[in-house]
Amino acid sequence: MTSLPNFDSKLQCWKHFAGYLPVSGGKKSLFYWYHEATETPEKKPLVLWLNGGPGCSSLGGMFTENGPFVLDKNLNISLNPYSWNKVANMLFLEQPAGVGFSFPIEKYTNDSITAADTYESLVVFLRRHNELKNRPFYITGESYGGHYIPNTAKAILDGNAMLPAGSSDLINLIGIAVGNGYTDWKLDFNTNVENARYHALTSQDYFLAAEQACDGNYARCFWPREDVECPDKCNDAVTKATENGMDGSIDIYDIYEDVCLEKGQARLQTQMFMLAKERHSQLQKKLALKQKRRRLLQTVISPIFATCIDGYSTRYLNLPEVQNAIHVQAGTVPKGNWTDCGNVNYDFNYESELPNYKKWVEEGKLQILIYNGDADFILCHMGNAAWIKSLNLEISQPWKKWRGSDRQVAGYYEEYKTGGTQLFTFLTVKGAGHMVPKDRPVHALNMFSRFLAGGHYDQVPATVMGPLCPS
């Protein structure tokens, strides 16, 4: 790519590429946008970023979280000084087929199909970029990425195992990092009632009523499933205790942030909306509730991204001149409109990802980082801590603070022993919500840099970060 509308390319100091990766014998095409590292890309690892949903575009994350471009209200582009391609070669992939610019829209898809297609697209991508062969490779992402990422990692490991030694298609997977991820239905969603109480979203009386009615088993009613019974008393108590977190009056991405009130700004489908939509669908099936109209909220972020950045990125990616510049194939975008989420009929997976983690921890061959913004309501740090606790790991580094490059306390972390040399780490980012790089861009980049360096998050150097591209 040589130019972008509303951007002075003279400010750019890296190469980037966009287009399609054919999979399934050419029946599907996944859209990607690849950004080389701004300095010495030949020495930097390759990192795949996946947003969640399920069914949400990674370009949404690229334009609103950890990518190099920042849009303003007039759709002009400036540079993000905390972009992750400052320290890595970043690949943003729209998957599964039907998401964003990827096509065709599938009538049905699931984790297995998505992981298989993503793995195949990576093989195609690396064949195109021979300079990245055998380069250290990492998978990162958030939200329903808690399923995308481990399933993609498994597909890569299984694919590698079927290849002969020395094959040029081997992918050098080193580690995975999952932010505010959905991993295990019961353990993730059993903590929302307690999270509501601890963040003052409900009263002590409502909390105690839910505790008594549910005997501590909240997930069955907070996020009901057709195959799990939800007693009426428990349902009523959980609904009451979590009402202020789930009624649309605050941003469930980040309970401390305001919402976009810009006049004429449409409420957009985001990855958190897709999760809430699945939950509401289950509520309808289980409890025959009438559908309620909910506000789709956006997060105020500082100091990089504007409050209504989701709307700006959607408008920008729907400009014909932008689609032409990034090589979007004509006629492939539904009704001519790119959307952050939707367009796919995704089978929401209620199976736990814990078996994968148990295997990888025993082997100790993958570096694993599970991180959480501590202000997320729907997929909170308490849920992630609960499923990690269920692995019964031996702690090698007890809970301690970590500081960002600005020397502020950035959060807390804990490390665990594995069967090998790689680290398994659980980490929180103070003051961040569901989208950590959006809310805490400096500390997110600090965290990401340490992840690529092998962990030990108390070793972030004290530095003043400069611009993405020094003049």
Q: pLDDT tens digits, residue range 309-365?
A: 888 899 999 999 999 999 999 887 766 689 888 788 899 999 999 999 999 999 999
CA-CA distance, 62 to 76, in Å (whole number)?
A: 16
453, 57, 12, 85: CA torsion to nearest 10: 0
pLDDT tens digits for range 199-229? 899 999 999 999 999 999 999 999 888 899 9
CA-CA distance, 209 to 220, in Å (whole number)?
A: 16
Last-in-domain residue among 258, 282, 299: 299
Helical packing angle, 354-363 and 145-161, nearest 10°: 50
**Co-location of 226 and 288 in the same domain:** yes
Residue 255 identity (one-letter amino acid): I
**Domains in the chain: how many in total?**
2
CA-CA distance, 47 to 201, in Å (whole number)?
A: 37
**Which is the catalytic residue, given 251, 434, 439, 443?**
434
pLDDT at 290: 32
Is 305 part of a structural domain of the chain? no
N residues, the chain: 471
pLDDT at 253: 72
CA-CA distance, 469 to 467, in Å (whole number)?
A: 5
pLDDT at 267: 44
pTM of the model: 0.90
Percent of the chain's residues with pLDDT above 70: 89
Please say if the pLDDT value at position 194 is more than 70: yes
Please say if the pLDDT value at position 155 is more than 90: yes
**Co-location of 161 and 233 in the same domain:** no
Evaluate the CA torsion angle 29, 106, 141, 153 in order and state its sign.
negative
**Co-location of 169 and 194 in the same domain:** no
**Co-location of 147 and 288 in the same domain:** no
pLDDT tens digits for range 430-456? 999 999 999 999 999 999 999 999 999
**Co-location of 247 and 122 in the same domain:** no
pLDDT at 284: 58
pLDDT at 269: 55
Average pLDDT, the chain: 89
Q: Which residue has the higher pLDDT, 296 or 358?
A: 358
Is 83 part of a structural domain of the chain? yes
pLDDT at 249: 77
**Beta carbons of 185 and 152 less than 8 angstroms apart:** no
> Which tokens is 341 given?
């989420």
**Co-location of 196 and 100 in the same domain:** no
Strands 395-403 and 367-373: unpaired
Instruction: State yes or no: cis peptide before 104, omega within 30 of 0.
Output: yes
**Beta carbons of 135 and 34 less than 8 angstroms apart:** no
Q: Which residue has the higher pLDDT, 403 or 248?
A: 403
**Which is the catalytic residue, given 184, 254, 310, 376?**
376
pLDDT at 126: 98
Check which CATH number belongs to the domain holding 384 and give it. 3.40.50.1820
**Which is the catalytic residue, given 102, 143, 184, 439?**
143
- Whether 281 is catalytic: no
DSSP code at position 223: S
Domain that residue 232 falls in: 186-299
- Whether 232 is catalytic: no
pLDDT tens digits for range 91-132? 999 999 999 999 998 878 999 999 999 999 999 999 999 999
**Co-location of 138 and 253 in the same domain:** no
pLDDT at 298: 34
DSSP string, 362-412: HHT-SEEEEEEETT-SSS-HHHHHHHHHTT-PPEEEEEEEEE-TTSSEEEE
Spell out the residues 6+ positions from residue 386 whose beta carbon is closer than 8 angstroms to its own. Answer: 187, 188, 190, 191
**Co-location of 87 and 200 in the same domain:** no
Percent of the chain's residues with pLDDT above 90: 74
Is 326 part of a structural domain of the chain? no
**Beta carbons of 300 and 250 less than 8 angstroms apart:** no
pLDDT tens digits for range 266-292? 445 565 556 666 666 666 555 444 333
Please say if the pLDDT value at position 53 is more than 90: no
Q: Which residue has the higher pLDDT, 270 or 404?
A: 404
- Whether 143 is catalytic: yes
